[in-house]
């Protein structure tokens, strides 16, 4: 694909993204910008109706729109049923990443029994454990620690200061952002005579292909079996996944979610930020869980589930609390009335 300092032609973008082109395909695009801030050389996209007001006034050179919005502008355009996904592909074409130079930095510590592909990259002060395999084009960032007997597949990227405990496995093209810890001991404790006895965590963490793991996310190893993250799972920052969990393929989980041990999340699920999911549950494929929801029981039928109260003024919240405190006595009074009525009728 031809590209120079003046940008990429709109026709080339359409061809590479597999979408319809309308208008002048020869104009050059050099950046992505919002509809209300775009100028010459920029392409903007419309994926939410709330921003449609800007479509008629934008100064962008081209836009990405749905077929339904195509008639609302005379600008050259890419027409697609999913403008947001097309925007993502266009952004990747306009801003390609530069692959790091392969090789092992002189300050890295690599075990003698480790197996490194010749074109892998091992950054400054990284540590690679015994019998660990680093595959082709994998990039291990500065300060990363990969424990013994780990497997890092081709094209994986581990950003600085990631930690992989021993026997963890990453599938191809998986991305792990800084500060993530994979394979730490699960929270396994047995109580005896008022004290805690640590339960050895002897399982692994097995992560599939095309997974992305956000900064400071933690995934605990299994207690006996494995903690499994299936293909194409997307995890935001600061998520906690307990031991022996299984996250189904194509599921996306937003930041600060906590998932207790041995819970199985289905495929194609979406979980909003700060949701809390108890242990030993099963969540059906295709389930959507709203932000800050508390899930204490299994969800066997896919749907949209919300369990959090919306914010409200402090005075109204206090009134609601008072009403809730009175609710039990009201229930007891109604039950007594019903029992009295039943006795009279009998």
Task: Let me know: does 176 contact 162? Beta carbons within 8 Å.
Answer: yes
> Six-digit token pair at 258?
């906590």
Asked if 207 contacts 184 with a C-beta cutoff of 8 angstroms, the reply is no
Helix/strand/coil for 219: strand
d(CA 237, CA 335): 48
CA distance 307 to 304: 10
| Cα angle: 187, vertex 192, 262; to 5 degrees | 30
Q: Are 105 and 87 in contact (CB under 8 A)?
A: no
Q: Which of 137, 177, 243, 250 is catalytic?
A: 243
Number of helical H runs and strand E runs in the chain: 3, 39
Q: How far is CA 61 from CA 66, 72, 77, 121, in A?
A: 17, 15, 9, 39
CA dist 268 and 236 (Å) reads 15
Q: Give catalytic status of residue 125 as yes or no.
A: no
Angle of CA points 21, 25, 27, to nearest 5°: 135
Cβ atoms 78, 17 nearer than 8 A? yes
Residues noted as catalytic = 243
């Amino acid at each position: 694909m031809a590209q120079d300092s003046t940008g990429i032609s709109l026709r080339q973008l359409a061809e590479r993204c597999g979408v319809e082109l309308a208008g002048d395909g020869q104009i050059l695009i050099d950046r992505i910008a919002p509809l209300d801030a775009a100028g010459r050389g920029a392409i903007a996209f419309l994926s939410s109706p709330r921003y449609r007001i800007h479509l008629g006034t934008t100064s962008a050179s081209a836009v990405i729109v749905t077929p339904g919005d195509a008639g609302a502008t005379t600008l050259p355009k890419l027409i697609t049923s999913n403008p947001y996904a097309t925007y993502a592909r266009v952004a990747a074409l306009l801003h390609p990443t530069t692959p790091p130079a392969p090789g092992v930095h002189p300050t890295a510590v690599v075990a003698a029994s480790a197996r490194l592909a010749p074109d892998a990259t091992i950054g400054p002060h990284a540590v690679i454990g015994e019998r660990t395999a680093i595959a082709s084009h994998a990039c291990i960032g500065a300060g990363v620690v990969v424990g013994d007997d780990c497997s890092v597949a081709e094209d994986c990227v581990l950003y600085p200061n990631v930690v992989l405990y021993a026997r963890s496995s990453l599938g191809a093209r998986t991305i792990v952002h800084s500060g993530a810890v994979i394979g730490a001991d699960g929270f396994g404790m047995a109580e005896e005579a008022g004290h805690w006895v640590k339960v050895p965590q002897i399982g692994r963490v097995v992560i599939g292909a095309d997974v992305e793991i956000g900064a400071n996310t933690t995934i605990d190893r299994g207690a006996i079996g494995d903690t499994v993250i299936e293909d194409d799972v997307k995890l935001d920052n600061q998520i906690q996944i307990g031991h022996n969990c299984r996250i189904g393929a194509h599921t996306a989980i937003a930041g600060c979610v906590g998932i207790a041990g041995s819970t199985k999340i289905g495929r194609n699920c979406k979980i909003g930020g700060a949701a809390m999911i108890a242990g030993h549950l099963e969540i059906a494929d295709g389930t959507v869980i709203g932000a800050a929801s508390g899930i204490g029981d299994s969800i066997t039928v896919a749907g949209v589930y919300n369990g959090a109260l919306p914010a409200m003024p402090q005075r109204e919240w206090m009134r609601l609390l008072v009403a809730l405190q009175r609710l039990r006595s009201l229930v007891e009074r109604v039950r007594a009335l019903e029992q009295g009525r039943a006795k009279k009728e009998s």
